């Protein structure tokens, strides 16, 4: 017969406390300590013309917003918090809708000039800390292997020092909740097409079941990072919105506030959703049919603005 003994009153229990885990609020990845969860979010405008490819630092971005800048050419604003690529670029000029999307993350914003509206917004101090190359040339450099204006680069040694000099040492924000990945046994979103633009700027993704990520393509060709190779986000989000030519006849006008349809691709499946953003300086939220925040799996997330009249499809 087994005998169970209990400690007497003089015995001591040793309870091992589990170490506290901390996660980046931007990409949901575990970080080393609490201070890392508050590290400054640095948003960098990155070019996507044919002359700018392959880019540097995109494969390591935590969140990327994509939209048409002008003439059907897309551009990115890449957000970094825990991720620290050794080189980022080519850095290009700012547009107002990127300012809006980034503002919800309490960021600093790296760029090379911008449209008059975008510059007025970021220089107001209401949308983030302005770290324009025009006024901080020592924090950027021009590469010799590419021609201007497609050759401005930076790195986090320079950006961290620049942020500190501006008094920007942390970011406070709430983004979509994150969860551990759980890939589907029967994926239904294996090929994704986002009709963002046309030609070399059209976007598609192939689901990689082995890595549970989406291998990105542009114009039917793999989209690669010069240093890291294939760009493969864990989460792809398409937001449908109003996109039109602005009154100046060259730049785009993109609705960033209000609400609209959204599609979330992760774990090999798609969730139809609604995006909402109450004001330019507020956060973008992605919710399900019941109004609940959709949990995104941990890792890189790409968010692409698709015109209401254009298609988002998958199979």
Please indicate, yes or no, whether residues 150 and 183 belong to a single structural domain of this protein. no
196-216 burial, b if ≥16 CB within 10 A, otherwise e? bbeebbbbbbebeeeebbbbb
Q: What is the pLDDT of residue 2?
A: 52
Please indicate, yes or no, whether residues 99 and 146 belong to a single structural domain of this protein. yes
Q: How many domains does the chain have?
A: 2
Domain CATH code at residue 255? 3.50.90.10
| Collapsed DSSP state (helix, strand, coil) of residue 122 | helix
Please indicate, yes or no, whether residues 151 and 185 belong to a single structural domain of this protein. no
pLDDT digits (tens, 9 = 90+) for 197-256: 999 999 999 999 999 999 999 999 999 999 999 999 999 999 999 999 887 777 889 999
Q: What is the pLDDT of residue 304?
A: 99
The last residue of a domain, from among 117, 133, 165 = 165
Distance CA 262, CA 232 (A): 20
Residues 132-145, mean pLDDT to the nearest whole number: 98
Residues 72-87, mean pLDDT to the nearest whole number: 97
Q: Which helix (H) or strand (E) holds 64?
A: strand 63-70
Please indicate, yes or no, whether residues 60 and 194 belong to a single structural domain of this protein. no
pLDDT of 6 higher than 60: no
Q: What is the pLDDT of residue 12?
A: 62
173 in any annotated domain: no
47 in any annotated domain: yes
124 in any annotated domain: yes
Q: What is the pLDDT of residue 207?
A: 99
Give 3: exposed, middle or buried? Use CB within 10 Å, 0-12, 13-18, 19+: exposed
pLDDT digits (tens, 9 = 90+) for 87-130: 999 999 999 999 999 999 999 999 999 999 999 999 999 999 99
192 in any annotated domain: yes
Please indicate, yes or no, whether residues 212 and 306 belong to a single structural domain of this protein. yes
Q: Residue 210's Cα: distance from chain center in Å?
A: 23
3 in any annotated domain: no
- β-strand pairing of 41-47 with 107-111: parallel
Please state, in angstroms and as integers, the Cα–Cα distance from residue 118 to each residue in 101, 114, 155, following that order: 12, 6, 23
Please indicate, yes or no, whether residues 184 and 136 belong to a single structural domain of this protein. no
pLDDT digits (tens, 9 = 90+) for 25-55: 999 999 999 999 999 999 999 999 999 999 9
Please indicate, yes or no, whether residues 134 and 190 belong to a single structural domain of this protein. no
- What range does the domain containing 127 cover? 23-165
10 in any annotated domain: no
Give the CA dihedral 141, 130, 105, 194, nearest 10 degrees.
-60
């Amino acid at each position: 017969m087994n005998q169970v003994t209990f400690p007497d009153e003089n015995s001591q229990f040793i309870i091992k406390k589990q170490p506290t885990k901390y996660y980046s609020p931007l990409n949901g990845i575990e970080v080393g300590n609490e201070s890392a969860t508050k590290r400054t979010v640095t948003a960098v405008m990155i070019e996507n013309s044919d002359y700018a490819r392959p880019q540097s630092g995109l494969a390591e971005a935590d969140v990327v917003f994509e939209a048409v800048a002008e003439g059907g050419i897309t551009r990115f604003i890449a957000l970094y918090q825990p991720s620290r690529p050794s080189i980022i670029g080519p850095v290009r000029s700012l547009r107002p809708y990127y300012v809006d999307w980034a503002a919800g993350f309490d960021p600093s914003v790296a760029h090379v000039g911008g449209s008059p509206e975008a510059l007025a917004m970021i220089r107001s101090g209401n949308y983030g800390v302005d770290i324009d190359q025009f006024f901080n040339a020592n924090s950027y450099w021009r590469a010799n292997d590419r021609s201007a204006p497609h050759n401005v680069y930076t790195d986090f040694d320079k950006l961290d020092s620049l942020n500190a000099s501006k008094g920007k040492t942390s970011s406070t924000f709430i983004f979509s909740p994150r969860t551990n990945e759980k890939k589907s046994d029967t994926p239904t979103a294996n090929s994704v097409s986002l009709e963002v633009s046309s030609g070399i700027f059209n976007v598609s993704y192939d689901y990689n079941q082995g890595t549970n990520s989406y291998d990105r393509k542009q114009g039917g060709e793999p989209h690669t990072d010069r240093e890291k190779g294939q760009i493969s986000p864990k989460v792809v989000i398409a937001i449908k919105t109003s996109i039109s030519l602005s009154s100046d006849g060259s730049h785009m006008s993109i609705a960033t506030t209000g609400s609209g349809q959204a599609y979330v691709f992760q774990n090999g499946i798609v969730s139809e959703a609604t995006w909402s953003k109450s004001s330019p300086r507020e956060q973008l939220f992605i919710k399900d049919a019941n109004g609940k925040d959709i949990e995104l799996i941990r890792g890189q997330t790409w968010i692409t603005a698709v015109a209401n009249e254009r298609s988002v499809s998958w199979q």
